[in-house]
């Protein structure tokens, strides 16, 4: 058996998340069906990070095992020929047997795009998170600094989160603005269920003036989900990078969705 790694981008709007579901379309189902046709046998893939319903990706990474002998371009072109327009395989690499898309990953990166304006978006619907009120980026940046490093992120995990422990390490959390858009970039060793969206909702409460930047430190220390901000919508959330040890020789991060007035 040969182990193959793939880089994939997708529009999550039409899917019920990454993970296979019994009665709803998933990205995993679409990818496995396409690869199974190319391999001429049933294929099962493992991903670097399971994204929620409506969440997009520019740099999802998966691996699968196959006894089929195919060129790299055959996995890409053949896979894409059998995928819907909303999913695309970007690259394929043969990897060592000890590579694992999830467990070999060192960090994962997301970008959350917020549009702050009075009118809802039409062309960017489901591509950005729309906020009708003003948000001040400076206090959001100050609040974000409290979350850097290794912490117990119980206050930012979904109640249904199945992770064995809530401790994660955030290596980078930055906010920048371009006209009416705010880009929230976050990189961590791993994420809890809804962790990015809960952080985004909490920081937006600070940006709107409802809370002070130091409130975020209090929420973090309390380890109580009920004290944090709302779970921000999945619209505007993108998985944009998965970093692996250089020995595996895989491409780096995907493209960053960027918007400006």
Query: Which are the catalytic amino acids?
Result: 52
Helix (H, G, I), strand (E, B) or coil at 57: strand
Instruction: Tell me if residue 221 falls in helix, strand or coil.
Output: helix
Asked whether 133 and 200 are in contact (CB, 8 A), the reply is no
Cα-only R_g, the chain: 19
Task: Please answer whether residues 47 and 35 qualify as being in contact, where contact means their C-beta atoms are separated by less than 8 angstroms.
Answer: no
167 CB-near residues (< 8 Å, 6+ apart)? 150, 151, 152, 153
Q: Beta strand pairing status for 129-131 and 107-116? A: parallel
Cα separation, 26 vs 36, in Å, equals 16
* Dihedral-angle region of residue 197 (phi above 0 means left; psi in -120 to 50 means alpha; beta otherwise): alpha
Q: 4, 11, 219: which is closest to 96 by C-alpha? A: 4
| Residue position matching structure tokens 């690499």 | 93
What 3-state class would DSSP assign to 152?
Answer: strand
Q: Look at residues 212, 252, 250, 249 and name the one whose alpha carbon lies nearest to residue 229.
A: 212
* Cβ–Cβ < 8 Å for 116, 223: no
- CA distance linking residue 116 with residue 181, whole number of Å: 6
């Amino acid at each position: 058996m040969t182990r193959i790694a793939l880089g994939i981008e997708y529009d999550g709007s039409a899917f019920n998340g990454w993970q296979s579901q019994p009665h709803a379309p998933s990205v995993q189902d679409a990818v496995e069906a396409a690869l199974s046709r190319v391999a001429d046998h049933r294929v099962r893939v493992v991903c670097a990070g399971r994204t929620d319903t409506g969440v997009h990706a520019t740099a999802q990474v998966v691996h699968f095992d196959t006894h089929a002998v195919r060129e790299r371009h055959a996995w890409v072109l053949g896979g894409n020929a059998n995928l819907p327009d909303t999913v695309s395989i970007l690259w394929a690499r043969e990897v060592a047997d000890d590579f694992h898309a999830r467990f070999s990953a060192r960090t994962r990166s997301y970008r959350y795009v917020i549009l702050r304006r009075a009118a809802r978006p039409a062309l960017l619907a489901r591509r950005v998170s729309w906020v009708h009120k003003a948000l001040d980026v400076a206090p959001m940046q100050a609040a974000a600094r409290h979350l850097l490093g290794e912490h117990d992120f119980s206050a930012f995990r979904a109640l249904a989160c199945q992770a064995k422990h809530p401790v994660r390490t955030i290596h980078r959390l930055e906010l920048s603005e371009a006209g009416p858009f705010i880009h929230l970039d976050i990189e961590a060793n791993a994420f809890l269920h809804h962790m990015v969206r809960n952080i985004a909702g909490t920081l937006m409460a600070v940006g709107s003036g409802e809370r002070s930047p130091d409130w975020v430190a209090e929420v973090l220390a309390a380890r109580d989900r009920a004290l944090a901000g709302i779970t921000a919508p999945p619209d505007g959330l993108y998985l944009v990078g998965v970093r692996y040890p250089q020995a595996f020789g895989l491409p780096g991060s995907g493209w960053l969705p960027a918007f400006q007035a």
